[in-house]
Amino acid sequence: MRLDLKAAAALIAGIAGAGIVATVPAALAMAAPAIVRTSVFAVSKMTCATCPIAVKTAMSRVAGVKQVKVNFEAKTATVTYDPAIAKPVTIAMASTDIGFPAQPVAR
């Protein structure tokens, strides 16, 4: 379903002008787009083909993480996340907690 924000705003303005109280549903609220950040993490102790799957799964479960790409050969994970929700230390700890110590790589 496509939402026409201008039409919704006009409708709400018309309702409000008639003395009826109206609220905007969250789906129609005109919020600023979320800011995302991408960080690279060095991940150690990955020794087999299933290790990157475990790292990706753990990091993906952190609230605010949008995308995780693990490079087995380079022993890194590139993570895109919302910095208002997720912090690099939390993302790294998710991997560390399952046996694959991770640290943000300084740029």
15 pLDDT above the threshold of 70: no
Q: Are residues 19 and 53 in the same domain?
A: no
**CATH number, domain at 93?**
3.30.70.100
Q: Are residues 61 and 42 in the same domain?
A: yes
Q: Are residues 20 and 62 in the same domain?
A: no
Give the side-chain half-sphere CA count within 13 A for 41. Answer: 30
Q: Are residues 63 and 82 in the same domain?
A: yes
- Concatenating the DSSP letter of every residue in 15-62 gives HHHTT------TTT--PPPPP-EEEEEEE----STTHHHHHHHHHHTS
Q: Are residues 43 and 24 in the same domain?
A: no
**pLDDT value of position 1:** 44
Q: What is the pLDDT of residues 26-70, one digit of tens each?
A: 655 566 667 999 999 999 999 999 999 999 999 999 999 999 999
Q: Are residues 5 and 42 in the same domain?
A: no
| 1 or 67, which is more confident | 67
Q: Are residues 86 and 70 in the same domain?
A: yes
Counting other chains too, the contacts that 29-37 makes at CB distance below 8 Å and 24 or more residues apart are: 30/5, 34/82, 34/84, 35/82, 35/83, 35/84, 36/66, 36/80, 36/81, 36/82, 36/83, 37/80, 37/81, 37/82, 37/83
| Residue bearing tokens 């995780």 | 68
The pTM is what? 0.70
Q: Are residues 48 and 92 in the same domain?
A: yes
Containing domain of residue 6, as a range? 1-31
Q: Are residues 61 and 14 in the same domain?
A: no
Please tell me the total count of domains within the chain.
2
Counting other chains too, the contacts that 24-33 makes at CB distance below 8 Å and 24 or more residues apart are: 27/3, 28/3, 30/5
Q: What is the pLDDT of residues 68-78, one digit of tens each?
A: 999 999 999 99
